Structure 1
Amino acid sequence: MKIALLGYGKMGKTIEAIALSRGHEIVIKTSEALNSEITAADIAIDFSIPEAAFTNISNCINHNIPVISGTTGWLDNYNKIVSLCEEKKGAFIYASNFSLGVNIFFELNKTLAKMMSSLKDYNVDIEEIHHTQKLDAPSGTAISLAEDIIENHNNFTSWKLDGNKDNVLPITAKRIENVPGTHNITYKSEVDTIEINHIAHNRQGFALGAVIAAEWLHGKTGVYTMKDVLNIG
């Protein structure tokens, strides 16, 4: 495939290396929104910034270029993208995290939340740790984990960064140098603690998942998720 990389920071460069190793060609590398030149690509991978993501994704769909996005912080406009994709018969995947391991972790998180929903003595919290260059807090992955807990657990109606109110699921966000990404889910009572976590050792897992998602999406139409790519859940 001919791939356009929209966002050419550390993640973009890692995606480039993996895509090349899998026989693909990188035809565009940019951090700015593009117009008709996007048609040089067979597919686009967007890891840009929140301010550019909506324009990047819209431009791809308007030019009939399948696009996957791992950019977080723009999801207030997600439904607009879904509507545009359906109108233009385009192809789109958004994931807060493309790591294959994280997407399995998402399913474990949902299952545990269902199992724990009737046990009222356990307090639940989420902690995420990322590198100091990460712009958004909490991470998109932590938000996805929180939303899945809220959907599958009876005790919560919303989440909040550093929250501590009843029926509000607290998320703690830490920024530490050279941490690719760690997510901890903790259920704690007076008698014991149950914890599941995912610890990324480098960016390779995120980048590989993005390339695999692009390979899967090529030639399709519709709006999908990583659950479709991995056939899980």
Structure 2
Amino acid sequence: MKIALLGYGKMGQVIERIATERGHEIVLKKDEFNTYEGLSNADVAIDFSVPSAAVSNISSCFHANVPVISGTTGWLEHYDEMLALCKEKNGGFISSSNFSLGVNLFFELNEYLAKMMSKFDSYKVDMEEIHHTQKLDAPSGTAISLAKGVIENSNYTNWTLETPQSNEIHIEAKRIGTVPGTHTVTYNTPIDSIEIKHTAHNREGFALGAVIAAEWIVGKHGVFTMRDVLNVQI
């Protein structure tokens, strides 16, 4: 499989290594200093860039008839626009806040727990996410996905980084050292707490999941999720 890497930072380099180990060829390493030359030769593109580049990267893939896997966060105000373009061009698209197998299992666990806890109003939910100091967006896309998972299965209606109202989930976003990513969901009462937590030890899981998604989407048309790729729904 021929892969275009859109974004060649630390994540892009890990993806390159894992893809090469799995027998794939990298035909483009796109960063801010070069062009999309070679994109049309790719079977699939993997975008781990920055929020300001994501829309250009994704739309360029659709125009080149190349399916795209996007792990970039912080650009979702343009998500509906990209979905419309994907449909117009009959493209293939997976956008995820996190491609890690463990995180996607954690998403399912989070939703299952939210359904259970929705019957017990005395428990109040809050979230914490910790990432390295180079991460540009806050809260993380993974934390937002976790919050949406609770909102869809409870009486909460929104999330906030500020002091929460009764119908809001508070997310505390921390930027510390080189932490790859830690996410905690806690249900609190004055009596006790229930907590679920995912801790990434390195970038390997994110990169492997993105490559697996890229392998899966080749030859497919439409908008998919990691649930489609991994079939991990509880």
Give TM-score, length-normalised by structure 1.
Answer: 0.97
Q: Where in structure 2 are there 5+ consecutive unaligned residues?
A: none
Amino acid at match of 1:215: E
Distance 1:92 1:173 in 2: 28
Aligned residue in 2 for 1:145: 146
Aligned residue in 1 for 2:217: 217
Aligned residue in 1 for 2:226: 226
SS of residue matched to 1:29: strand
Q: Indicate conservation of the 8 Å contact 1:97/1:141, yes or no.
A: yes
Aligned residue in 1 for 2:198: 198
Give the drift of 1:190: 1.4
Q: Where in structure 1 are there 5+ consecutive unaligned residues?
A: none
Aligned residue in 2 for 1:162: 162
Aligned residue in 2 for 1:130: 131
Q: Indicate conservation of the 8 Å contact 1:132/1:178, yes or no.
A: yes
Aligned residue in 2 for 1:119: 120
Q: Indicate conservation of the 8 Å contact 1:163/1:171, yes or no.
A: no
Amino acid at match of 1:15: I
Change in 2 beyond 3 A, CA 1:198/1:47: same
Q: Which stretch shifts more, 34-43 or 18-27?
A: 34-43
Amino acid at match of 1:75: L
SS of residue matched to 2:72: coil
Distance 2:138 2:10 in 1: 18
Give TM-score, length-normalised by structure 2.
Answer: 0.97
Distance 2:164 2:42 in 1: 47
SS of residue matched to 1:125: strand
Distance 1:76 1:65 in 2: 22
Q: Indicate conservation of the 8 Å contact 1:34/1:56, yes or no.
A: no
Amino acid at match of 2:5: L
Cα-to-partner distance string for 1:6-47 (whole Å, 9 max, x where unaligned): 000000000000000000011111123844631021110000
Cα-to-partner distance string for 1:173-203 (whole Å, 9 max, x where unaligned): 0111121000000001111110000000000
Aligned residue in 1 for 2:30: 30
Task: Give 4+ residue runs of structure 1 displaced > 3 Å after superposition.
Answer: 32-37
Cα-to-partner distance string for 1:152-182 (whole Å, 9 max, x where unaligned): 012x111011332211110000111121000
Aligned length: 232
Q: Indicate conservation of the 8 Å contact 2:158/2:167, yes or no.
A: yes
Distance 1:177 1:19 in 2: 28
Aligned residue in 2 for 1:17: 17
Q: Indicate conservation of the 8 Å contact 2:30/2:36, yes or no.
A: no
Give the drift of 1:231: 1.2
1:170-209 equivalent positions in 2, closer than 5 A: 170-209=170-209
Distance 2:199 2:97 in 1: 16
SS of residue matched to 1:152: coil
Q: CA RMSD in A?
A: 1.1
Amino acid at match of 1:188: N
SS of residue matched to 2:134: coil
